[in-house]
Amino acid sequence: MSVRVLVVDDVADIRRLIGAIIAAHDQGWSVAGEASNGQEAIAAARRLDPDLVLLDLSMPVMDGLEALPGLRTSVPDATVVMLTGFPTDAARDAALAAGADGYLEKDALVTTLIQRLQAIIDDLDGTPGERS
């Protein structure tokens, strides 16, 4: 299965880390593009049509919650997973209520990113890019 991922985070090192994890995953996943804020994410999503968007919750210019409606309009079939370095139940609930398909803490990225993303995709009963 081919999964094209848009990585959105204001920290370049986090974007590179996620890209390296995805590149090391030998299942057809690839980074289609990157963005450093919500405005860039919406523009990149329109241009790249990713299957999966990894969206940082807290960013300058436009945060993940503000960007989520624009992403849903731009790529309605994409799976959108919110990422955060400051996990709280309220933030998770807000992200899911706003339309995120999943919510991951950044501290889990190195060891479990692909497994946790696959579980979110499986729970949606489909593959990224094929939203029902």
Instruction: Dump pLDDT digits (tens) for 25-64.
Output: 767 889 999 999 999 999 999 999 999 999 999 999 999 9
Asked whether 48 and 32 are in contact (CB, 8 A), the reply is yes
Residues 6+ apart with CB under 8 A from 85: 58, 105, 106, 107
pLDDT tens for each residue of 88-118: 888 889 999 999 999 988 876 666 766 777 7
Phi then psi dihedrals of residue 29, to 5 deg: -85, 145
Tokens of 132: 């029902």
Mean pLDDT of the chain: 87
pLDDT value for 124: 76
Instruction: Check pLDDT > 70 for residue 126.
Output: no
pLDDT value for 125: 66
Q: Average pLDDT for residues 113-127, to the nearest whole number?
A: 73
Instruction: Check pLDDT > 60 for residue 127.
Output: no
pLDDT tens for each residue of 16-30: 988 988 888 767 889
Asked whether 62 and 38 are in contact (CB, 8 A), the reply is yes
CATH architecture of 3-123: 3-Layer(aba) Sandwich (3.40)
pLDDT value for 111: 64
Asked whether 46 and 74 are in contact (CB, 8 A), the reply is yes
Task: List the domain boundaries for the chain.
Answer: 3-123
